[in-house]
Amino acid sequence: MVGSPGPIEVYAPDDNSGTYDTFRQLVLEAQPLVSSAKRFVDSIELSDNVATELGAIGLVGLAYVRSASAVAISERGSLPTLPSPFTVANESYPLSRRLYLYTLPHPRTPLVTDLVNFAQSPEGQQVVRESGYVDLSIAGWSPGPCDARCLPAYAAATLQAKRLTVDFRFLPGTEELDSLASRNLDRLVAFLRARPGAQLLLLGFADDLANSLARANQVAGELERRGVRPAVVKGFGAAMPVSSRNDAQGRQRNRRVEAWIRDATRERGP
């Protein structure tokens, strides 16, 4: 879509917004927000103003995009990515953020444990989804043809496969799965058990080929201990980055293992 040239009106949440705080840390860093920006307490009001006013641009959470048009963004060295439940769930969208629940090692009341357990359960994640936010449930997505970064070996490995809404990531400087990845192992096992005969593909990415394969094998080993044996485990080195390679945080995001699924009946043909 091509717009008309003219002044840009910047709309942003107020300083109490978690969305704005994330944007300030990840994008603005030490730079101040433009002084002419109009600040909003209500994300719905902000989004609706952007949708109706020529030359307006704003910042809201994905649940509040409504009738406005979301914009694809990128970090240096990666392709622009649109925000969607899929790109936020697998954290390929640069401004994806996690929501953490913190408790004492031994909560003083069982209600705390009950709340955390419910939040992470399928029932709790359904509430998240129905509220317009991105839940942690695993689903398949058909990505279509590979983009310009796509390696021939990667295209061949994922032929007729669907990518799952889960990427496994690791604690900084290690090959140990982070907290979200550890919980996603059990979610993935439950997902696969409901699809007998489906084939799981694990595709690793890291700073080099050996490291990427080691990370894919790490995930495969954890799944095998849970009774699931992946059909394909491959490493693709530093190819197809989702973030900048020029800083430690970007390289950390690029170190990941994608999960794909292929219906085994497709390979037998008609």
> What does the alpha-carbon distance between residue 25 and residue 19 come to, in Å, rounded to a whole number?
10
> What does the alpha-carbon distance between residue 259 and residue 233 come to, in Å, rounded to a whole number?
10
Q: Say if residue 155 is in the same domain as residue 234.
A: yes
Of 119-128, 146-155, 196-205, 225-234, give the lowest mean pLDDT range: 146-155
Of 30-39, 83-92, 182-191, 245-254, give the lowest mean pLDDT range: 245-254
Q: Say if residue 190 is in the same domain as residue 240.
A: yes
Q: Say if residue 113 is in the same domain as residue 15.
A: no
The reported pLDDT for the residue numbered 269 is 41
Over residues 21-27, mean pLDDT: 91
Over residues 192-207, mean pLDDT: 95
Number of structural domains the chain divides into: 3
Strand boundaries in the chain, DSSP class E? 9-13, 38-40, 56-58, 140-141, 162-169, 198-205, 232-235, 256-263
pTM for this structure?
Answer: 0.87
Residue 95 lies in a domain: no
Average pLDDT, the chain: 91
Residue 189 lies in a domain: yes
Q: Say if residue 113 is in the same domain as residue 166.
A: no
Of 66-75, 157-166, 228-237, 240-249, give the lowest mean pLDDT range: 240-249
Residue 72, helix vs strand vs coil: coil
The CATH number for 201's domain is 3.30.1330.60
If one compares 113 and 75, the residue with the highest pLDDT of the two is 113
Q: Which of 57, 51, 95 is nearest to 73 (CA)?
A: 95
pLDDT tens digits, 148-198: 778 999 999 999 999 999 999 999 988 899 999 999 999 999 999 999 999
The reported pLDDT for the residue numbered 249 is 84
